[in-house]
């Protein structure tokens, strides 16, 4: 029955299912390998000579790469399929830029106390919804006009802005930094963070950069309560510790364990079987080629292209190949975007969610971060003689 069900899948559904299965397998193996590295006594003597913190970092890195090797290693043999699907997959990521900007506009208005959002009580919760934008319940769905504006951005923008900006930075809801960028006329005098290129295009077409002029009323209030809480905490800790003699902590220096591939290779040779060591050598070659040979990547892009791409005159022939490959990737992405938007609308109509088990993730996030921030604000409210609520 399951096989018959899979036969009726659309391309997008099959792609999502297989992607999810690989991700689940990867996470499971990564967790198993990490437990083994941390608990198996056969590694004890080897790790003894290194600092504990660096051993933990190494274990996480090694478990990650070993899981990658086992789950995705074979996919390097099927490069053509990867080149066919990667533009659709990139489009699936980028379409959520539209919602990120809508969320950011709501954050500005919420901080200025122009609107209320039932799901938001304190500023930092916008960071949660940034990471889970696909599940955000208070943003309206992407309209055709919004999609067309984003398509205009893709057509108007450089390859680097489209493909590389969010690789290095993805702070879509960083209110302080984005507002700082807008107000600094001479941006060489102080560090600032570049906004998403999409935001600048969006503002140029909508005029909504004027929202930056709105005051941060809510953030200022929260800062006041945080200050009261931390000042009181500092006083209480000083009073508690005033009669406790300071204990001199003896620190035994140990080298940090290396994280480079050469060291990992020696580790694999020492602790893994011959077959895994052989696979690691091949895996390392692939990783190093990816890191060191961008030209090979551009060549492969053109090799698997579904059309002939012109290579324009360039004094540097390598740059000419890069330009041709980048032009092709941008063309393919723009061609895939309507399919991505159609699948987005299909999911909306059928009620298929965009993110798995969002409620569980939110609960964990609340436990890890937001609850602490909320409690500190409420304590600050009490210290100021005010009710322990968020009605301020």
CA distance 29 to 21: 12
Predicted confidence at residue 227, as pLDDT, reads 96
The mean pLDDT of 155-167, rounded to a whole number, is: 86
Question: Which of 126-140, 232-246, 284-298 is predicted most confidently?
Answer: 126-140
Is residue 291 scored above 60 in pLDDT?
no
When comparing pLDDT for 287 and 382, which is higher?
382
When comparing pLDDT for 161 and 170, which is higher?
161
Is residue 14 scored above 80 in pLDDT?
no
Predicted confidence at residue 114, as pLDDT, reads 97
CA distance 304 to 84: 8
CA distance 109 to 320: 46
Is residue 32 scored above 70 in pLDDT?
yes
- Assign residue 351 a region (left: φ > 0; alpha: ψ between -120 and 50; beta: otherwise): left
Per-residue pLDDT band at 77 (split at 50, 70, 90): very low
Q: Please spell the DSSP secondary structure of 175-188, one letter per residue.
A: HHHHHHHHH-SSTT
The mean pLDDT of 26-39, rounded to a whole number, is: 93
Is residue 17 scored above 90 in pLDDT?
no
Torsion angle defined by CA atoms of residues 237, 240, 245 and 247, in that order, rounded to the nearest 10 degrees: -50
Buried b (16+ CB within 10 A) or exposed e, 102-115: bbbbbbbebbbeee
Per-residue pLDDT band at 391 (split at 50, 70, 90): very high
Q: What percent of the chain has pLDDT over 90?
A: 53
Predicted confidence at residue 183, as pLDDT, reads 78
Question: Which of 13-27, 169-183, 200-214 is predicted most confidently?
Answer: 200-214
Pick the closest to residue 230 from 377, 360, 23 (CA basis). 377
The answer to whether 147 touches 341, Cβ cutoff 8 Å, is yes
* Residue whose tokens read 């067309």: 148
Predicted confidence at residue 165, as pLDDT, reads 78
Q: Which run of H or of E encompasses 371?
A: helix 371-383
CA distance 154 to 57: 38
Six-digit token string for 130: 């940034």
User: What confidence tens digit (pLDDT) does each residue in 81-105 have?
Assistant: 666 688 999 999 999 999 999 999 9
Pick the closest to residue 117 from 143, 134, 141, 139 (CA basis). 139
The mean pLDDT of 351-380, rounded to a whole number, is: 75
The answer to whether 133 touches 166, Cβ cutoff 8 Å, is no
Span of 194-198, 244-248, 294-298, 331-335 with lowest mean pLDDT: 244-248
CA distance 324 to 138: 41
CA distance 375 to 387: 13
Contacts of 184 (CB under 8 A, 6+ apart): 190, 192
Is residue 76 scored above 60 in pLDDT?
no
Six-digit token string for 356: 């798995």
Beta bridge partners of 255: 50
Q: What percent of the chain has pLDDT over 70?
A: 85
């Amino acid at each position: 029955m399951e096989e018959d069900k899979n036969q009726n899948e659309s391309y997008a559904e099959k792609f999502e299912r297989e992607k999810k299965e690989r991700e689940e397998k990867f996470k499971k193996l990564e967790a198993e390998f990490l437990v083994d590295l941390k608990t198996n006594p056969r590694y004890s003597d080897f790790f003894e000579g290194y600092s504990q913190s660096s051993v933990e970092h190494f274990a996480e890195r090694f478990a990650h790469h070993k899981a990658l090797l086992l789950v995705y290693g074979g996919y390097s043999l099927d490069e053509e399929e990867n080149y066919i699907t990667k533009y659709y997959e990139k489009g699936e990521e980028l379409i959520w830029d539209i919602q990120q900007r809508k969320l950011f506009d709501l954050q500005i208005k919420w901080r200025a106390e122009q609107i209320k959002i039932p799901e938001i009580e304190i500023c930092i919760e916008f960071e949660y919804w940034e990471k889970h934008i696909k599940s955000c319940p208070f943003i309206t769905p992407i309209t055709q006009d919004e999609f067309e504006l984003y398509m205009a951005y893709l057509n108007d923008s450089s390859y680097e802005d489209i493909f590389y900006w969010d690789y290095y930075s993805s702070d879509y809801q960083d209110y302080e930094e984005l507002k700082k960028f807008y107000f600094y006329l001479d941006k060489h005098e102080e560090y600032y963070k570049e906004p998403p290129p999409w935001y600048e295009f969006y503002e140029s077409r909508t005029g909504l950069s004027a929202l930056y002029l709105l005051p941060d009323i809510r953030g200022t209030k929260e800062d006041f309560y945080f200050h009261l809480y931390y000042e009181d905490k500092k006083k209480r800790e000083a009073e508690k510790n005033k009669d406790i003699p300071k204990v001199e902590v003896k620190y035994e220096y140990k080298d940090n364990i290396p994280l480079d591939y050469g060291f990992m290779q020696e580790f694999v040779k020492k602790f893994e079987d011959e077959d895994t060591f052989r696979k690691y050598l091949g895996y390392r070659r692939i990783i190093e080629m990816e890191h060191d040979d961008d030209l090979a990547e551009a060549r492969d892009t053109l090799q698997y292209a579904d059309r002939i791409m012109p290579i324009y005159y360039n004094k540097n022939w390598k740059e000419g190949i890069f330009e041709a490959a980048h032009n092709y990737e941008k063309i393919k992405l723009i061609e895939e975007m309507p399919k991505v938007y159609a699948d987005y609308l299909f999911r909306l109509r059928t009620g298929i969610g965009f993110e798995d088990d969002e409620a569980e993730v939110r609960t964990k996030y609340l436990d890890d971060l937001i609850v602490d921030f909320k409690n500190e604000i409420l304590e600050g409210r009490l210290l100021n003689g005010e009710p322990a609520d968020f009605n301020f």
